[in-house]
Amino acid sequence: MDDLFATHDALATAQLVEARKLGARELLDGTLARLRALDASLNAITDLYDGELLEKSIAAAGGGPFQGVPFVVKQLMADCAGTPTTLGSRFFAREPVAAADSAAIAAMRRAGLVIVGRTNTSEFGLAPTTEPAYGGATINPWRRDLSPGGSSGGSAAIVAARGLPMAHATDGGGSIRIPAALCGLFGLKPSRGRVSLAPIGETLAGAGAQHCVSISVRDSAALLDAISGGEPGDPYHAPAAGSFLAATERPPGRLRVAFLRKPAGGDALDRSLVAAVERTAKFLEELGHIVEEAAPGYDSQASGAALGTIMAANTWTNIQVRANGRVPGPDDLEPVTRATAEHGRTIPAHDYIRAVQTFHRTGRQLGAFFERHDVLLSPTIARPSLPLGVVRMDGSVEAFQQALAPMVAFTSVCNAAGVPAMSMPLAWTDDGLPIGMQFIGRFGAEEMLFALAAEIERARPWRARSPDRGGET
């Protein structure tokens, strides 16, 4: 059991259960034991189910493509019946448990997943690391002095350590792709409206999304098949699509790929990142794609400022809505969270509307770019690794924003524009740490991205490179 997820992704594991080559209870008990052992050193899981809650989770799992596969859900943007959703915050640690699953979580259960726990996140998902005051820092299994990124760092750390083949993740500015990059995993942020966020609202004016981090492309595709689609009254809907899993089984065709050597309006990158992009671009040419250096024309400073405005206003509003009249005490929120919320309280309506309009303008500018190109390639983040303690929520907002900037330099525009983007572990530092490459597509183009990702995965497989093997194939 300890080595199962080193060789089997979630779909392969479910096939073992269906063929009765592996008992569902044997799989569950063995996985829970491994998760407990891993979490003792990683601090990635906030809650592991047992007793009646676990039995209800087993009973709720359907007979879909992931039949019997254990799964964990991030403590953000998703409710699991019978447990609280803490948002990584002491203030919400004691809130009433959820009466029902979120729509996407219910779909995950119907697909056969057995939810066995919740994973750590930064407070309110504001930081691109996972070091909340409530619950403590999650460790990157590749090296103990490094963060797994965030805010889906708990999920990414567990999957990177091969405790599970995939785990729930959310993304409001890069929080699926950043930890995927730092942990050597595959992570795709879907298009705006591809996965319903019901029963909550649009989330960050449409910037928020949920899906997973995984060890294989096909698991990610099959899960998106299972959870995509709208709920009645959803404010956004992505274009209709076929099967994402089927897309992984066909060639992507000859794609027009643009690549970036630096962020839009940003500073020069570390040479290791530039070299990684150039090698990836050359590799894509060898696969037959048309590759050129080109950048979309949009105002990165305005787009980033708009996301900050919307995030601050949402932070204040979400505290008010979820607290049901409770007022945070002096120790209930981290300093940056409190300052962000206070700023959000003072934002005028016209500034918020201008921020939303900036999102729409950015989306149109990227839309024009994707009339000429199919894919935009870049590093996922603008630094090769993230030591623990670099991004701090206990200091000034200015220091936090300075540390945040290189983490979201390539990712946050995708959230503003609502376009799909994926991170793939296609490069490695000299000391064996993973470097993620980001691929962005036009709105609704997940099928194309999955077809490309599967082609790349077949040519440059990464699953055998894991922390316990020292990054060696």
What amino acid positions are annotated as catalytic residues? 74, 151, 175
For CA atoms 57, 168, 192, 370, the dihedral sign is negative
- Amino acid symbol at 363: G
Q: Using CA atoms, how far apart are residues 411 and 407, in angstroms rounded to an integer?
A: 8
Q: Using CA atoms, how far apart are residues 208 and 251, in angstroms rounded to an integer?
A: 30
Residue with tokens 């996140």: 121
Buried b (16+ CB within 10 A) or exposed e, 226-238: bbbbbeeebeeeb
Beta-bridge partners for 422: 188, 439
DSSP string, 127-177: SSS---TTT-PPPPTT-TTB---SSSHHHHHHHHTTS-SEEEEEESSSTTH
Number of H helices and E strands in the chain, helices first, is: 16, 11
Q: How far is CA 262 from the centre of its chain?
A: 22
Q: Using CA atoms, how far apart are residues 420 and 192, in angstroms rounded to an integer?
A: 8
Q: Tell how strand 434-441 and strand 375-379 pair up.
A: antiparallel
Q: Is 378 helix (H, G, I), strand (E, B) or coil?
A: strand
355 and 306 Cβ atoms separated by less than 8 Å: yes
**How is residue 364 written in tokens?**
């149109």
146 and 385 Cβ atoms separated by less than 8 Å: yes
Neighbours of 240 (CB within 10 A): 8
The answer to whether the bond into 199 is cis (omega within 30° of 0) is yes
